[in-house]
């Protein structure tokens, strides 16, 4: 069976489009992307979602169903309609057949919860009908009639901006987002958390508390997720002999251990 693969943001894919938010929305949104499979496609697209901290809005532009498989539990979910997709603690594989057309908004960790008033722990591995959280029927109908990805991005931003401007980001959330930005830089993952705390002007007990209150996870776990994402990319580019220490691993066996713990797979199966 096709085990799927991980796609990184800057990789060119024929049926995958990506755009970044305008400056006013960058505090909340990582990027927008779209999966559009031609109806004539004979082989489905298999994409792996690594364990992560992000929440997604998925707006369905076509009624075609697709599948989501939790690779840890084996649970298979048939997906259709607009969805809220929670942060992942397990590897998930999405199987998109011909005809699928989905528009996504990827929110920064905990930021979608600020809009809809939920915590990350409440939506772990969730794949739920979006109408359970908010009514966006009119927006969905409008997005379905817009002819291009760029225009859909602009329409979504015009809807989200007024909502986001009404949300207050407190001190804890600002510290957490600043720490996550540092974790996103591969070289930083070689840096001890104590040094990062000094750079942020916060003690480690306070940082640990802020992460748990904001995300529901410790800073070490969040750093581990982002370190693995960087390590997997390095592995895909250079194989097992690449310099894993550049992203915070002691050696390949250290990276392999994280792969097994986080995904129950070897890196070559991702």
For tokens 């817009």, what's the residue? 146
Q: What is the DSSP letter of 270?
A: -
Alpha-carbon span 133 to 81, nearest angstrom: 14
Extract the residue ranges of the chain whose pLDDT is less than 50: none
pLDDT at 136: 75
Q: pTM of this prediction?
A: 0.93
Alpha-carbon span 251 to 219, nearest angstrom: 22
pLDDT at 245: 82
Which option is the CATH number for 16-165: 2.60.120, 1.20.58, 1.20.120, 3.40.50?
A: 2.60.120
Give yes or no for a contact between 103 and 142, defined as CB atoms under 8 angstroms apart: no
Listed in sequence order, the residues at least 6 apart from 222 whose beta carbon sits closer than 8 Å to its beta carbon are 53, 109, 179, 180, 183, 211, 215
Domain 171-269 CATH assignment equals 3.40.640.10: no
Give yes or no for a contact between 136 and 58, defined as CB atoms under 8 angstroms apart: no
pLDDT at 11: 78
Question: Structural domain boundaries of the chain?
Answer: 16-165, 171-269
pLDDT at 246: 81
Strand order in the sheet with 92-96: 45-49, 92-96, 66-70, 76-79
Question: Model confidence over 128-150: pLDDT tens digits?
Answer: 998 888 777 788 889 999 999 99
Q: What CA–CA distances, in Å, run from 229 to 110, 116, 130, 156, 223?
A: 19, 27, 28, 28, 10
pLDDT at 42: 83
């Amino acid at each position: 069976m096709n085990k799927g693969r991980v796609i990184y943001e800057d990789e060119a894919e024929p049926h995958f489009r990506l755009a970044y938010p305008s400056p006013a929305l960058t505090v909340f949104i990582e990027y927008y992307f779209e999966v559009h499979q031609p109806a004539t496609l004979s082989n489905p697209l298999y994409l792996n979602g690594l364990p992560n901290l992000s929440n997604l809005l998925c707006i369905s532009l076509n009624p075609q169903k697709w599948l989501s498989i939790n690779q840890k539990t084996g649970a298979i979910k048939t997906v259709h309609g607009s969805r809220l997709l929670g942060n992942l603690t397990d590897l998930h594989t999405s199987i998109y057949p011909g005809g699928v057309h989905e528009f996504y908004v990827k929110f920064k960790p905990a930021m979608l919860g600020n809009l809809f008033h939920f915590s990350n722990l409440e939506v772990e591995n969730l794949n739920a009908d979006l109408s359970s959280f908010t009514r966006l029927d009119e927006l969905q109908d409008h997005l379905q009639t817009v002819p291009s990805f760029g225009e859909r991005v602009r329409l979504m931003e015009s809807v989200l901006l007024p909502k986001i401007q009404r949300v207050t980001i407190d001190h804890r959330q600002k510290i957490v987002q600043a720490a996550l930005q540092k974790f996103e830089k591969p070289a930083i993952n070689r840096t001890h958390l104590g040094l990062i705390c000094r750079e942020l002007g916060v003690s480690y007990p306070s940082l640990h508390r802020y992460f748990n209150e904001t995300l529901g996870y410790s800073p070490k776990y969040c750093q581990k997720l982002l370190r693995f994402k960087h390590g997997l990319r390095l592995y895909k580019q250079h194989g097992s002999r690449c310099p894993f220490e550049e992203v915070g691993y002691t050696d390949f066996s250290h990276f392999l251990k994280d792969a097994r713990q986080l995904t129950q797979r070897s890196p070559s199966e991702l």
